[in-house]
Structure 1
Amino acid sequence: MRDQIRNQKNNLILSRKRLNRRIFFIGLFFISAMGYMGYQVTAIKIYNGKDYQKQVLNRMMSKDGQINPQRGAIVDRNNKTIAASVLSYHVILDPKMVLELQESQQESIYQTLSEVAKRSKEEIKKFVEASPRSRYSILVKNIDADIIEPLKQKSLKGVWFEESFTRKYPKGEFASQLIGFYNKNGEGQYGIEQQYNDYIVGKAGRIFSQLQDEQIITTEIKPAENGATVVLTIDEVIQQYVENTMNKYIKEFNPINAAAIIMNPNTGEIYSMFSYPSFNPSHYNVLEEQLGKEIWESLTDSQKAERLNSAWRNYTIQNSYEPGSTFKPLLVAAALDESIMNPEQKYICNGTKVVVQGVAPIRCWKREGHGEQTLEQALANSCNVAMLEIVEKMSSETLLKYMERYGFGQPTDIGLPGEEKGQLHQKLGPIERATYSIGQTFTSTPMQLITAFSSIINGGYLLQPYVVSQIISDKDEMLYKAKPITKRQVITQETSRLLVNYLKKVVDEGTGIHANINGYTVGGKTGTAQKRPLEDEKYVLSFLGYAPINNPQVVGLIVFDEIPEGTGAPARAFKEMMTNILPYLEIDLANSNQIGDAQLSKMPQLTNTDIYRASELLSHEGLAYEIIGVGKKITSQYPNEGTYLPKNSIVKLYVQTETPESIMQIPDLQGLTVEEAKLLVKDTFVINQDSRGVVVKQFPKAGHKIEKNSQIIVITSE
């Protein structure tokens, strides 16, 4: 028993010794490890501390930030702004900092920002509380600089303003399909915005921080390179004439599509390009102002997409159609050049012609026929039978050769995205050759047609059309300069001169008589093309015209898709446009008949004055006037200062604004009392009239767009 107790005691002593040894070694290990770690930390601090510090600081401070470049402007040939990027700001919040402020400070911030963000205080409060740990939350984007500048002076804690740029289109729907738009993804889409995006977009700058001299942290900035300015061949004044006229006829006849092109036939420069339906690039994905809010909201998503795609589409280069009789002058020119016929030849039109035995004859539009005609008369009367007789003597190969030389079946290379090239047959049988002669069964875009037509009035040369004249960098460096490009000579100059004179008869006596303009010599050709399926009896009506006859300097094409026959709408529209465009381009009248004893007025100097002063001066001279453009500052005039005009002549005043964001349309005040008129224009315009009568006349007229807070002069009657 005693030995057993002794053994247990000895075992307990041995166990305790073993435990103590283990504790000793574990403690020794931890002491050694801590000592080693302390040594390493000390060594790093003493020997490598600066290097490690630099690495840590560099990682902390070298995060790059991007400086967005300003997108380049798009301007017309006279440097009038069509699209531009203006300074704006994103409103950025630091929710963590805001929530650390006193409640009264928070309320003040919420109240101030609610006016900017167009949200209630409660909404902004919820926005902040939804991300309590965030140091960067975008409350609202692209707020105009004039709204933000006063806020920057308030030094709102937890709020700062990040510079950005907003794309502005101050002229609304102006040439919208040509211009395109800047989409929400920050990309140019359609038209100039897409085609020349690489020039316009600019290059982003960088902002980054670095450790310098081991202790000083510096911030380095690589400035952004702003985008280049694209200068168009488009003339703002001519484009406005075209748009106003086209919209008038669209309202009257409601076509499904319409197009108009005004061009210099000797250079290929496009002065105006119009396409319908249209859109506003500032609101490119909404057509409320075009269709009406109620109609737009009633459409399904797929219907909205369809309407938008149609509005974005540039009819002048992307829609192919059968040109009809506007092609006939090109056929005649080819036949003359090939000596298939001579100018003295005569034709007998009985109303129909059999092309292939056993196949129904092709009819002339004049069912009873035109009788005997010269070539000039056949063009003036747009006789189908005469064209059928001409093409009957021309081989299919020759006809297709000229079609290709005129540029049909191939893009014009105008320098815009999505250009179509139309359709031609590879081979022509007798029926196809006959239908080609009257502009049917092949398709062309309006741009192809006007380019081809220009070749028969400019001496026979096919030119490459273009809409961009220059591209100028932000540093005023010339990056690109266009020059006229002649692709080839299609017909001889002799044939061209003959056709120029023949087509005058179309306007003087023939189907294009609606295009006759007093004082000018005009030539042209009408077109009526039946759409397929033929049984629907729907037509594309068009007119191609030019002036003056002795030296064509401007050519225009007007197209209306599905309007009634017999209205003469395309030729009438051409006349209305050119009545303004020809004087604007300073194209001389065909004659200089003396005014005789008529009383004359002298045109005053009006450029750089405003419309109010101009109205006084012109009234004093007994001259009427037309205001063209938006705003009240006169940038140019026609005629020029010192020109003598008959009394009551109408002069042109071209205006522009320096503050497009403040433009508003003047309402119609006639028939209202002065009190009612003042109430109607309250906070928008100023009426300086204390009379209590009824407004019988106003200046500027209703509908003119002018800067907010401008004066409206009214004349009243008791």
Structure 2
Amino acid sequence: MINSRALIITGFVFLFFLLLLAKLFSIQILKNEYYTLIAERQQNKPKIIKAERGIIKDRNGEVLSFTRDNVSFFVDTRMMNESKIDTISKVFSKTLGKPVSYYKRIIRNGKRNVCIAKKVPMSKAFELKKLIVDGYFYEEDFTRVYPYGNLAAHIIGYVNRELKGIEGIEKVYDEILTGKDGMYLFERDVLGKVISVDEKHSVPPAPGNNVVLTINKTYQKILQEELAAGVKKYNGNSGVGIIMDPNSGAILALANIPDFDPANYNLFTASERRNRALTDTYEPGSTIKPFILSMLFNEKLAEENEPIDVEGGKIIFHKTRITDTHPHDILTVREVLEQSSNVAMAKLSTRISDELFYRYLRNFGFGNPTHIEISGEAEGYLKKPKNFSKLSKAFMSFGYEFSVTPLQMITAFSALVNGGILYKPYVVEKITDANGEILSSADPKRIRRVIDKEVSDKIKKMMVGVVENGTATAAQLDYVHAGGKTGTSQKLVEGRYVKGKYNSSFIGYLPADNPQIVCLILIDSPEIARYGGLVAAPVFKNVAQRLIEYDLNLAPVRKKIVRKKKLIEELIAEDINAKENNYDKFFNPTNEKKMLPEKPVKQNVQKGVMPDLRNMNLRDAIVILNELSVKYKISGSGKVVSQSIEPGVKLTAGTICTVKCQLNINKKVLNLN
């Protein structure tokens, strides 16, 4: 009996050893590679080290966005006991200042891995890293920091919790800003403690590259503060401001009100985060008038001192009433711009063909996106000539029937005052690596010449008159002359113009003789006042005055400008002299109808046959020639007295007709009283 029991026990022991031997054979021989890999993973556990995201700076090296190297700390509650909990809680309480009970409660109530302190600054994390307790560990937990809060938020954009760019430069340059994560291979003991680091197989993280913007931080601060003050003062819905270098296209500042804090972007609405300078379009109103005059000057269809009859500021144009804010009888073209006459602009617009009118606006960049680096840009709307009505050019000449973005407007305006060159706007100056070495840099990109330099110089001088004598006197500066143009346009909402809702704008430049900056101010729906000269121009002045105080290059000579209003006699003398010396101009005064019998415009015009233009107003003659697709050259102004192609002659393609005109001016018309 005893022997049988011994045999059974011996058999079980032998069987156990056989099974153990088989298991060891499987581990050591059959599955050697598998278990070796498991052992290596346990002993040589790799740890991913996050790469630091690159920095965004302004043009002067001021840091606008950077990554703070924070650390988050954890405990594995399955490895905790009262002694460990007490030790950890006391160290954290001493370092971070919260009660010991706070940390004990977190650990005791937690399950598995519990975060006991999130995003601890490196200055304090350094002490906490020294603590060695089984089940206690930490991870790098970077935080994107925007040190100046909402400054340039619509340009910089923001990132999500994973530090991935969502909007603005953070999004567009996400790949460049994002570094390459590293990996450290740690050798651990059976308890999981780090014994050593395998330097041979470890790869250090590579930080992201840095993006340097064209933005000037101080310019940006001034623009945002004054724009916000303007929106508040005039009780507007929103505001947009842009400052650009007209000689390169570099954006020096861009602001939207309301704005947001990129570090807490989720607390703001989509409307507040929207970059209206790029996404929102508006009808530009009278700010378009210098563009129309520039095309007329460039085609030699108008001159600065020629007189225009504005008929008391009211006309019926193709059965539609067009009016001016202030009534005038006779204005020179220069005064047309200064006084912002819609009537005169409507008349002047008839001198240029539909195709040429459209081509100039297109060449200024309207109807096309600028392709700036920031995403979400709208292209605006520019009607094609085939869709023009009889009123289109007239209405477009004072800023209706097409829409632009603020960025398009300031880009085009820069071409108007820089000598006639359209530049591509840009906001990124260069890309550098973490050590400051330049990897790439942006050079001004010239797109095309739009107008001649002489025309640009003329328009530039005329817009100084707008500030000194016209609708923008509220933009006058103390130490430097500025030029610019006001604009007021009724808002189009769901296809209808809304009464009492206006876009009030001003776009100006300084110094007047050599523009270094162009600044656009747009206030949406101000309830206090409505005209651009009363709302936007004062905001421009406040911005410009502060810029001059900050940047000595804008006004190196600080001599206060003494202004005096011209005597009425001086204005009359100046006007009469200009007109007497410039008879060879377009001039359609009301009284002239009594001097010459006017041939009716609506005559039987036979296609392909030259009509009789003699004794017509030049404006009506041009309309007929355009309808017949006849190229023409104009000599003089007023009534047509002769034409190079006789009436009744068959027209051939490419034929050019020279039309000679003459004025019969009665000096009584020049009475400005």
The normalised TM-score by structure 2 is: 0.74
Determine the structure 2 residue equivalent to 1:541: 504
1:264 CA displacement: 0.7
* 1:106-140 Cα distance to aligned partner (Å, 9 max, x none): 245335546878977666445434555x3x33334
Q: Find out whether 1:286 has 2:262 as its counterpart.
A: no
Determine the structure 2 residue equivalent to 1:232: 213
**Cα distance in structure 1, aligned partners of 2:27 and 2:512:** 92
**Matching of residues 349-498 of structure 1 within 5 Å:** 349-350=310-311, 351-356=313-318, 359-366=319-326, 369-426=327-384, 427-498=387-458
For 2:509, the aligned partner's letter is: Y
> Which of 126, 142, 159 lines up with 1:149 in the alignment?
126
1:164 CA displacement: 2.5
**Matching of residues 253-652 of structure 1 within 5 Å:** 253-287=234-268, 308-350=269-311, 351-356=313-318, 359-366=319-326, 369-426=327-384, 427-532=387-492, 533-563=496-526, 564-566=529-531, 568-587=534-553, 589=555
Q: Find out whether 1:79 has 2:42 as its counterpart.
A: no
**Cα distance in structure 2, aligned partners of 1:316 and 1:207:** 46
1:201 CA displacement: 1.4
Q: Is the 8 A contact 1:353 1:363 kept in 2?
A: yes
**Cα distance in structure 2, aligned partners of 1:130 and 1:286:** 30
1:27 CA displacement: 13
**Matching of residues 120-139 of structure 1 within 5 Å:** 124-131=103-110, 134=112, 136-139=113-116
Q: Is the 8 A contact 2:185 2:197 kept in 1?
A: no
Question: Per the alignment, do residues 526 and 46 of structure 1 end up closer, same or farther by CA in structure 2, a change over 3 Å counting?
Answer: closer
**Cα distance in structure 1, aligned partners of 2:31 and 2:392:** 89
Q: Is the 8 A contact 1:463 1:487 kept in 2?
A: yes
RMSD: 3.2
Report the 3-state secondary structure (helix = DSSP H, G, I; strand = E; otherwise coil) of the residue aligned with 1:354: strand
1:371 CA displacement: 1.5
For 1:416, the aligned partner's letter is: I
Question: Per the alignment, do residues 365 and 61 of structure 1 end up closer, same or farther by CA in structure 2, a change over 3 Å counting?
Answer: farther
Determine the structure 2 residue equivalent to 1:179: 156
**Cα distance in structure 1, aligned partners of 2:498 and 2:272:** 28
Question: Per the alignment, do residues 594 and 343 of structure 1 end up closer, same or farther by CA in structure 2, a change over 3 Å counting?
Answer: closer
Question: Per the alignment, do residues 594 and 114 of structure 1 end up closer, same or farther by CA in structure 2, a change over 3 Å counting?
Answer: closer
- Relative contact order (C-alpha < 8 Å, sep 6+): which is higher? 2
**Cα distance in structure 2, aligned partners of 1:217 and 1:401:** 68
Determine the structure 2 residue equivalent to 1:673: none
Q: Give the % identical residues.
A: 30
**Cα distance in structure 2, aligned partners of 1:42 and 1:282:** 57
- Number of residues of Structure 1 aligned to a counterpart in Structure 2: 539
Question: Per the alignment, do residues 37 and 545 of structure 1 end up closer, same or farther by CA in structure 2, a change over 3 Å counting?
Answer: same
**Matching of residues 245-260 of structure 1 within 5 Å:** 245-260=226-241
Report the 3-state secondary structure (helix = DSSP H, G, I; strand = E; otherwise coil) of the residue aligned with 1:497: helix
**Cα distance in structure 2, aligned partners of 1:195 and 1:79:** 20
* 1:38-68 Cα distance to aligned partner (Å, 9 max, x none): 6655756886797565334234456543211
**Cα distance in structure 2, aligned partners of 1:413 and 1:149:** 46
1:352 CA displacement: 2.2
**Cα distance in structure 2, aligned partners of 1:476 and 1:591:** 36
User: Any stretches of 5+ residues in structure 2 without a counterpart?
Assistant: 1-7, 189-195, 562-673
**Cα distance in structure 2, aligned partners of 1:589 and 1:39:** 94
Report the 3-state secondary structure (helix = DSSP H, G, I; strand = E; otherwise coil) of the residue aligned with 1:174: coil
Determine the structure 2 residue equivalent to 1:636: none
The normalised TM-score by structure 1 is: 0.69
Determine the structure 2 residue equivalent to 1:699: none
Determine the structure 2 residue equivalent to 1:670: none
**Cα distance in structure 2, aligned partners of 1:364 and 1:41:** 101
**Cα distance in structure 1, aligned partners of 2:23 and 2:197:** 25
> Which of 196, 199, 202 lines up with 2:176 in the alignment?
199
**Cα distance in structure 2, aligned partners of 1:31 and 1:179:** 74
**Cα distance in structure 2, aligned partners of 1:538 and 1:268:** 32
For 1:86, the aligned partner's letter is: R
Determine the structure 2 residue equivalent to 1:164: 141
For 1:84, the aligned partner's letter is: F
Determine the structure 1 residue equivalent to 2:225: 244
**Cα distance in structure 1, aligned partners of 2:502 and 2:52:** 46
* 1:509-567 Cα distance to aligned partner (Å, 9 max, x none): 00011111123121100010111232422111111111122211111111111112257
Q: Is the 8 A contact 1:91 1:138 kept in 2?
A: yes
**Cα distance in structure 1, aligned partners of 2:96 and 2:559:** 65
User: Any stretches of 5+ residues in structure 1 without a counterpart?
Assistant: 1-25, 288-307, 596-718
For 1:228, the aligned partner's letter is: N
Q: Is the 8 A contact 1:521 1:590 kept in 2?
A: no
* 1:245-302 Cα distance to aligned partner (Å, 9 max, x none): 2222222122111011111100111111111111112222225xxxxxxxxxxxxxxx
For 1:178, the aligned partner's letter is: I
**Cα distance in structure 1, aligned partners of 2:159 and 2:560:** 53
* 1:476-530 Cα distance to aligned partner (Å, 9 max, x none): 3322201000011111111111111111100110001111112312110001011
Question: Per the alignment, do residues 362 and 63 of structure 1 end up closer, same or farther by CA in structure 2, a change over 3 Å counting?
Answer: farther
**Cα distance in structure 2, aligned partners of 1:583 and 1:32:** 98
For 2:329, the aligned partner's letter is: G
Question: Per the alignment, do residues 565 and 59 of structure 1 end up closer, same or farther by CA in structure 2, a change over 3 Å counting?
Answer: closer
